[in-house]
Amino acid sequence: SSQAGDGGRLRVSNLKTEEFPTIQFALDVYDREGNFLADLTPGDLTLEEDGRPVQEVGLQVFQPGLQFSLAITPAAAWNTRFGEKTQLEWLKASLQAWGNRLPTDGKDDFSFSTPTGLQLIRSRDPRKLVEALDDYQPDLSRSEANLFSLMTALDLAADQKIDPQMKRVILWVTPPLGSSLTAGLAEALSRAQQSGVHVFIWMPVNSLDAPVPDTGAFQNLTDATGGRFTLVAAPDTMPDVESWLTPLRRAITVRFVSTARQSGEHRLTVGLNRAGWSGITQSLDYTLEIKPPNPIFFAPPSRLERTWSRPEGSEEFLLQPVAVPVQILIEFPDSHPRDLKNTRLFLDDTLLVENSAPPFDRFVWDVSTLTESGAHTLRVEAVDVLGLTGSSIAVPVEVAVAPRPATNLLERISGRGLVAVGAVLVAGMVLGLVLLGENRLRSRRRQAERRRQADPLTQPVPIVQEKSRTRRVAVESASWPKASAAPGTMARLIRVTEEEQPIPGSLIPLNRSEITFGSDARQSVVLLADASVSKRHARLVRDGDTFTIFDEGSVAGTWVNYSPVGASGRRLEHEDLIHIGRVAFRFELTKAPSLRLPVVEKVDESL
């Protein structure tokens, strides 16, 4: 405690840092008469932390309750009678009357110690103290002066496990002591100050008019601990206990926001900004461990797959997903949870998202810009109200973006296929030009021949000739690498390359009434492991000698001779070229139909 110049007293105690950066402590301020100053405002206090003024201060007056210990050191002189009772009986009656006036559901607890030990320990019921005083019947003739009851009460008050906000009070009823025992009061004073105990003393004497014994050591003990001292004799000189305790029934809790930003030792200095209190301060030292927050990914995505899908009613393909939720945990290694200013999510050390308001532990990651496959890293930062920044480790994320599906026939044809188609078109144009030139040349020859025949001199002698017979030649279908099929199989599929060359060992006999094609083994008979093939892509149905292929709503489509197949299907002919996505097949009948050559006839030029 610190004494003010006018006799007032300021005491700071019970400092707590568990809610850092908010720190709180208990403040007791009394004037010279011992009255508690309950009208303090934050402006009446001056607070400095490590020499820096503290601005954010709050005060709260409350009733913490008292830990009251009665310590009695009996003396033979207390057998003196005052009227119908001895002095001891009057002392007990005065204390019992006070105990009976107290509520049984209050916040106080009560203990009672004597030279023979503790008679009552921390009872919440004041009536228990009354009963203990009733039971206390010491043999005053054998009493010896000592400090045992006082020291026992101090031991009990030193236990800080009981609510530390409760104020500790000892009322010591003792006779004057010899000089040898008086010297021991210095130790009692030291222990009382360490535990924050207020010591009050009643010293019974036979008469207040008799010479006063040396009470200096007792007076010093009560003044230094914020208690009071009095001599008592007759019943009318005994003070009201409650009037002594009333100033202690209130306390002030002071809360402030610490400006400390580093771990280590710190000092708080408290003063009172009132007239007569200038320069009166008290300091408390305390230790803080301060560390930045530690953000941690909660189940981070190790792989992100983006695939193409076409929304219902749209012809455009879109990459999905467009956003991914990311959740984090935020730890405080210094065991001081506190508010956050913001959290930030980084992709390859580039800021993606910043949360400047709660919730700070969730992000929505916009992945719409990731249109190519590649390796990336995610990292998160957290900044607390102290301005301390903590960062997580960089978490690797593999991004896989599927190839864009083809939307028309040209996109479905490979580069070599496009070259082949171009070559065919050029060849067709050249052939068309040649045929056109040939027709023009024939026309000119016919005109010259007609003019020649119109000349009488050049007319030939008619000779009857038999017309040339029509000759028909039957040939087998165009040559194609033959592959054996199971007996009884009417048709087969042979997988071909982009150049439409057969792939050895790829024959699929069509010996079932229905065959499904796709990339999902649970939905397809023929499994095609290609990215362009849907889970259930196409269906080939046999009806007698007829084979029809249907598209099953696939993304890449089903094509026959480069023409799309709809839901109504397409009947297959011998040697049709089928594309299921990008996978190509040649359809063949086991008994290929014969192709007949055109009829070759000799032209009768006389016509």
- For residue 214, the model assigns a pLDDT of 83
- For residue 265, the model assigns a pLDDT of 96
Tens digit of pLDDT for each residue in 271-323?
888 877 777 788 999 999 999 999 999 888 899 999 998 888 777 889 989 99
- 471 touches 596 (CB < 8 A): no
pLDDT band per the 50, 70, 90 thresholds, residue 482: very low
As a whole number, mean pLDDT of residues 192-199 equals: 90
CATH class of 3-63+252-288: mainly beta
Output Rg (C-alpha) for the chain, integer angstroms: 54
Percent of the chain with pLDDT over 70: 86
As a whole number, mean pLDDT of residues 26-35 equals: 82
- What whole-number distance in Å separates Cα of residue 159 and Cα of residue 372? 68
- For residue 473, the model assigns a pLDDT of 31
DSSP state of 192: H
- 260 touches 266 (CB < 8 A): yes
User: Residue 96, Cβ neighbours under 10 Å: how many?
Assistant: 18
- What whole-number distance in Å separates Cα of residue 258 and Cα of residue 249? 28
For the chain, the domains span 3-63+252-288, 66-249, 294-401, 491-589
- For residue 159, the model assigns a pLDDT of 81
For the chain, the farthest-separated pair of C-alpha atoms sits apart, in whole angstroms, at 189
- What whole-number distance in Å separates Cα of residue 357 and Cα of residue 275? 45
Rounded to 5 degrees, φ, ψ at 426 are -65, -45
User: Residue 522, Cβ neighbours under 10 Å: how many?
Assistant: 8
As a whole number, mean pLDDT of residues 35-57 equals: 87
- 349 touches 379 (CB < 8 A): yes
Residues in the chain: 607
Answer yes or no: is pLDDT of 208 > 60. yes
Sign for the CA dihedral angle at 222, 227, 228, 234 comes to negative
Domain 66-249 has CATH 3.40.50.10360: no
- For residue 472, the model assigns a pLDDT of 34
pLDDT band per the 50, 70, 90 thresholds, residue 474: very low
Alpha-carbon distances of 507 from 95, 369, 489, 500, 503, rounded to whole Å: 112, 44, 12, 14, 8
Answer yes or no: is pLDDT of 574 > 70. yes
Domain 3-63+252-288 shares a fold with domain 491-589: no
| Token pair belonging to 95 | 């204390």
- For residue 517, the model assigns a pLDDT of 96
- For residue 68, the model assigns a pLDDT of 96
- For residue 211, the model assigns a pLDDT of 80
The answer to whether the pTM exceeds 0.95 is: no
As a whole number, mean pLDDT of residues 482-497 equals: 73
Supply the CATH classification number for the domain 294-401: 2.60.40.10
- List the Cα angle 238/240/245 in 5-degree steps: 130
CATH of 491-589, one of 2.60.40.10, 3.90.1170.40, 2.60.200.20, 3.40.50.1010: 2.60.200.20
